[in-house]
Amino acid sequence: MNQKITTYLIIGLFIGVVSGFFISGPMMYNKQIATLSNRISELEGQESIALSGVLSIAGSTTILKISQECANNFMQVHSKVQISVSGGGSGHGVKAAGSGEVNIGEASRNIKASEWLSYPDLVAFVIGKDSVAVVVNPGNPLVGSLDLTLEEISQIFSGEVSNWSEFGGDDHEIEVYTREEGSGTRDVFEMYALKPFDAEFAGTASVKPSNGEMRASVAGNRYGVAYISLGYVDSTVIAAKVEGVEATVEKVKSGDYPITRVLWMFTKGFPSTLEKAFIEYVLSDEGQVIVEDLGFISIK
């Protein structure tokens, strides 16, 4: 029995020493590098460049595209930073940031008065601008000539006009898709296209929980119609003209296209070093190029 214990002890000691050797070696080495880089940044009079930690971002599925791309680039530069990005909608973004559930929240609409009351210590940053486009399937015979007034849009999405033949298209039901309540895209679209005409979304509209699913639904449905963030418009769907104006970044910038909105990021209280560094990256020239590349409008 005693012999057995001694054997275990010896094996244990051996493993301990060997692994200790392997672990401590690189650790000491890393430590030296870390002190060295701290020295360098101190010498240059900067803050420590070795950012580290975990950052969580959630909210608008419109801004999701931007924050994913920015997070990837940010993590490449700062290898010790882990960023997790998720959707959930603007309503969720405000709630999650306000309650401290995530570090940075996103909303593709302005913060509502009721939300300011619930979360008075939110600090908000404008990170870009966007618009909302009405999209149809490329196979729809009306494509190319589809030019809608805001009032016609309200009639389509409230179900008042329910057949494509009323616009000179096929005799087929207009199949309306909408976003879930709480979506910033839905709020903005409702504000511009439905509220002015006292209209409400049709009860028969199918609810989709993200910009991506809205686009996929219309891309697969010849008689579908949906509204999505301008940044999500690609070749699988065609954006209709609104009040005679094409839905393009230039027309939104010039103010001709009637729907514009501001994209927000916010933190609970003043942002921490890491939160600040990320938001500053999004606002930097490099970050704003990403914003433009993804089809949104930069703040520059």
Partner 1 sequence: MKRGDIASKILFLCASFSTLIVFLIIIFLLREGISALNWNFLMGMVWSPHKNLYGIFPTLLGTLVVVAGAIIIATAIGVPCAVFLAEFSPFWLRNMIKSTVEVLVGVPSVVIGFFGLIVIIPFIRNNLGGRGESILAGWIVLAIMSLPHIISLSEDAIRAVPTSYRQASLALGATKWQTVRRAVLPSASSGMRAAIVLGVGRAVGETMAVLMVVGNPETPWIPTGVLDRVRVLTSTIAIEFSYAEWGSPHQYALFAIGVVLFFIVVALNLVATFVIRRRNWNG
Q: Angle, to 10 degrees, between the axis of helix 211-219 and the axis of helix 61-77?
A: 120
- Minimum separation from the CB atom of position 102 to partner 1 (A): 12
Does residue 206 sit in helix, strand or coil? strand
Q: Which is nearer to partner 1, 162 or 260 (CB)?
A: 162
Q: Which is nearer to partner 1, 143 or 202 (CB)?
A: 202
- Minimum separation from the CB atom of position 178 to partner 1 (A): 6
- Minimum separation from the CB atom of position 94 to partner 1 (A): 10
| φ, ψ dihedrals at 284, nearest 5° | -70, 170
Check: CB of residue 136 under 8 Å from CB of residue 152. Answer: no
Q: Which is nearer to partner 1, 190 or 275 (CB)?
A: 190
- Minimum separation from the CB atom of position 213 to partner 1 (A): 7
- Minimum separation from the CB atom of position 224 to partner 1 (A): 8
- Minimum separation from the CB atom of position 115 to partner 1 (A): 9
Q: Which is nearer to partner 1, 185 or 298 (CB)?
A: 185
Q: Which is nearer to partner 1, 191 or 216 (CB)?
A: 216
Closest CA to 136 of 225, 210, 242: 225
Q: Which residues bind partner 1 (CB under 8 A)?
A: 88-89, 91-92, 95-96, 99, 114, 118, 175, 178, 180-183, 201-209, 213, 216-217, 220-221
**Helix or strand run (H / E) with residue 173:** none
Q: Which is nearer to partner 1, 81 or 111 (CB)?
A: 111
